Structure 1
């Protein structure tokens, strides 16, 4: 009788394991960016951009984004952050990741994507939030790669809009820098 119960229990666990795995695999991860303009809540798409989401979460969980700024704001285009502290002090970053822009996600208004240089595989910590539909950034883009979208804003669109309207100028050798720091005070994974 014990063997029968053990066998049934083992069979039951094997039968439900794939279901449990698929539910965990499809789990949505959310991140809150607390800024001095309000909170932006992001829903990340690990199914379509697994390495990019992992990279972003590694930075979030390490506290990397705390006290960084949105250092580039271009009205009716995007807001970019994640690489500089107030005073335009650049932060040290991890190794770049492979570009996952061919994932089917589009650079639509209120999506979050990885910033990079002209090298398609140069994204590290910097990201941007599109403040309008920017289809020219989609894969394959003008350079054959595009910019990898890995999530979207689900709350705080008004905060994104407010940041997108701040006064900018030339500072730290860069254009389009907010005249008053737009600070990410902290970033946290929402459970």
Structure 2
């Protein structure tokens, strides 16, 4: 059974509980302690790596490179399958919105989510109106894919996204009553970065509020093509 809930206490974000909920693995419990600041607040580079650029060049899709404090990730984006979702993501990238935002949720062996908070777990308001859900698009929430987070309202996604750490087909479109989450791309370089984020120590406040003990930063995101 899928339950969808919003982290209303922190002002936003879509969170998915599966069954009895996913644990954080290596977490603590209770309280509302914010993650500790990352000891490396500034990026080591302002451009995508040679490996990332090569992966982008080999793709026939548009691509975005992002640098996190755990490493680099390059995604290809499927605008044919999720045109509004991809266009929305490109707008946020072009605006520099994701610079110095957080990977604020690490639900081990499930999903890694970011794009809506800054240091100190301060909510970053979205820049644009919510978009229509494009989950019924023949794309599946498989390992390494990127999908939009949302509230319980299907058409509520704005800036937040998540990476599927494992195959999560239960998050796919099932029906109008259970529309799932819109996949719009996949990692083509940097799965090792996703795996590194997946195992960071966390605070587990609830089955959907699972925060890294030390902030995982998104230093920047850049469209490559």
Is TM-score (shorter-chain normalized) higher than 0.5?
yes
C-alpha deviation, 1:140, in angstroms: 1.9
> Who wins on radius of gyration, i.e. which is larger?
1
Q: How many residues align?
A: 164
C-alpha deviation, 1:28, in angstroms: 1.3
Q: Provide the alpha-carbon RMSD of the alignment.
A: 1.7
C-alpha deviation, 1:104, in angstroms: 0.4
Return the TM-score normalized by structure 2. 0.70
**Residue among 161, 169, 185 paired with 1:127:** 161
1:115 aligns with 2:149: yes
> Which piece of structure 1 moves more, 177-186 or 137-146?
137-146
1:37 aligns with 2:61: no
Task: Give the number of the structure whose residues are more often helix, by fraction.
Answer: 1
**Change over 3 Å in CA distance of 1:27–1:157 after alignment to 2:** closer
Contact 1:78/1:128 (<8 A) preserved: yes
Q: Aligned to 1:83, what secondary structure does the other structure show?
A: strand
Q: Once the two structures are superposed, what CA deviation does each residue of 1:148-187 show, in whole Å capped at 9, x if it has no partner?
A: 000000000000000010111057xx72100100000000
User: Which residue does 1:69 correspond to in 2?
Assistant: 102
Unmatched 5+ stretches in structure 2 = 1-58
Contact 1:112/1:127 (<8 A) preserved: yes
**Change over 3 Å in CA distance of 1:142–1:109 after alignment to 2:** farther
User: Which residue does 1:182 correspond to in 2?
Assistant: 216
Q: Aligned to 2:209, what secondary structure does the other structure show?
A: strand
Contact 1:76/1:164 (<8 A) preserved: yes
| CA distance, structure 1, for counterparts of residue 78 and residue 141 of structure 2 | 13
Return the TM-score normalized by structure 1. 0.82
